[in-house]
Amino acid sequence: MRIIFFLYLVCASFFSHNLYAQGNSDYTCLKNINPSNPDNPIFKTLSSSTYPICFSLPVGMLTLSLINKDEKGKKVAFEIAGGLLVTATATGILKKLVNRPRPYETYDDIYPDVRENGNSFPSGHTSMAFSTATSLMLTTKKWYFAAPAYAWAVSVGYSRMYLGQHYPSDVIAGAVVGAGGAYLSHLINSKWIHKDLSKKKMVQVP
């Protein structure tokens, strides 16, 4: 598992380096998205909804599954939580490795809604949103869950640029890291954890 996460982090770092090298085109694209007064309630709400939705979804699913004794629901909840954990860890490591300042710290004509702490690359809000959306797609395999989840995730990414918090490459990298973290959690759960649990149950059957 550690080897798989290391390889995932190496791939994400390589992809991040290539995106980060975009330079002026990154700034130009952001300048066309970010207004001089980004205090828009819709985009602020989209941005601020990220962490409450990401964390309340697996907790709510796990609670309902325990009440209803739904084993499948518990597996889905743990898989989503695992994807978020992998994503948050990878995002934190990449932020320290790349150490990219926020756009408004580099350019005077990029206007943030608020001045946030922390590095810019990759976008943590976007990575968590895409991790949640990808986990829902992988676990439910239903388009009517995946489509609105991805629409929300894309909207979160756009809101982070509109609010002046991230460059486009930050958002793209966040989407890749989030989707990769969810897929890694899905792989670990389906290939090892759930398979091992099933084998143990079969062994216990007289």
Q: Is the pLDDT of residue 4 over 70?
A: no
Range 150-161 average pLDDT: 96
Give the total number of structural domains in the chain: 1
Residue 4 within any structural domain of the chain: no
pLDDT value of residue 53: 95
> What pLDDT does residue 70 have?
85
**141: in domain:** yes
Closest CA to 179 of 113, 50, 77, 86: 86
Is 27 a member of any domain? no
> Does residue 170 belong to any structural domain of this protein?
yes
Could you tell me if residue 32 is inside a domain? Answer: no
Question: Helix (H, G, I), strand (E, B), or coil: what is residue 109?
Answer: coil
> What confidence score (pLDDT) does residue 199 get?
47
Q: Phi, psi at residue 100, to the nearest 5°?
A: -90, 130
- The per-residue pLDDT for 69 is 87
- What is the extent of the structural domain holding 140? 39-204
Please check whether residue 20 lies inside any domain of the structure: no
pLDDT at site 95:
93
Band of the pLDDT at 1, cuts 50, 70, 90? very low
Indicate whether 51 belongs to any domain: yes
pLDDT tens per residue, range 85-139: 999 999 999 999 889 999 999 999 999 999 988 899 999 999 999 999 999 999 8
Tell whether 76 is covered by a domain: yes
At residue 8, does pLDDT exceed 80?
A: no
How does pLDDT run across 66-85, given as a tens digit for each residue? Answer: 998 888 888 889 999 999 99
| pLDDT at 205 exceeding the cut of 50 | no
Q: What gap in Å lies between CA 146 and CA 204, rounded to an integer?
A: 37
| Preceding omega of 101 cis (within 30 degrees of 0) | no
Q: What DSSP string describes the chain?
A: -HHHHHHHHHHHHHHHHHHHTTTHHHHHHHHHH--S----HHHHHHHHTHHHHHHHHHHHHHHHHHHHT-HHHHHHHHHHHHHHHHHHHHHHHHHHHH-PPPHHHH-TT---SS---S--SS-HHHHHHHHHHHHHHHHH--HHHHHHHHHHHHHHHHHHHHTTS--HHHHHHHHHHHHHHHHHHHHHIIIIIHHHHHHHHHHH--
| Stretch among 12-16, 22-26, 56-60 having the lowest mean pLDDT | 12-16
Is the pLDDT at 18 greater than 80? The verdict is: no
If you average pLDDT over residues 156-160, what whole number do you get?
A: 96
> Mean pLDDT in the chain?
84
